[in-house]
Amino acid sequence: MLPPANRLRRRDEFAVAVRRGRRAGRPLLVVHIAHSATDPHPSAGEPLPPRAGFVVSKAVGPAVTRNRVKRRLRHLVRDRIAMLPEGSLVVVRALPPAAEADHAELASDLDAALGRLLGRSRETRAASKPSGDTAARTGAQPKARP
């Protein structure tokens, strides 16, 4: 379960994240992220915690399926809440194929979307991308043209 301080509950918070935030789409879900200047639970001098909310429409399936998808997404976001910037509002919207997806597939799509939104995909791609051309990496000699 997501701690109460990390939950989005109000319609206007969802609207800010969806309308004013950045978006990353994946085959199973869409993630929206925005930074909020207001805290519905004000406390003296503490930074705003990241907050997350979920949208799982009837297009995903019947109530049992929608609730299963929401539970899986809540669990995945709970494990990743620490990597989100302070004061951020995150909305995870499940797409219909999420109903058939298992936990690992949802985790993979969520990680990819968050990585893209938080700017981690460039670092990962740069680290995994080999430098130089294929001939230089394999030690093969280029073919001479007649």
Report in angstroms the alpha-carbon separations of 116 from 8, 45, 79, 122, 127: 22, 31, 18, 8, 15
pLDDT value, residue 48: 86
Which residue is associated with the tokens 């406390």?
43
Does residue 48 contact residue 86 with C-beta atoms inside 8 Å? yes
Which residue is associated with the tokens 């949802």?
106
Backbone φ, ψ for residue 67 (5° rounding): -65, -35
pLDDT value, residue 43: 59
Q: What average pLDDT values come out for the chain (146 residues) when binned by 10 residues?
A: 89 92 94 76 72 96 96 95 92 96 95 90 45 50 55
Of 121, 115, 113, 117, nearest to 73 by C-alpha is: 113
Of 47, 113, 41, nearest to 80 by C-alpha is: 113
SS (H, E, C) 63-123: HHHHHHHHHHHHHHHHHHHHHCCCCEEEEEEECHHHHCCCHHHHHHHHHHHHHHHCCHHHH
pLDDT value, residue 46: 73
Q: 17: which 2 tokens?
A: 């994240």
Max CA-CA distance within the chain? Answer: 77
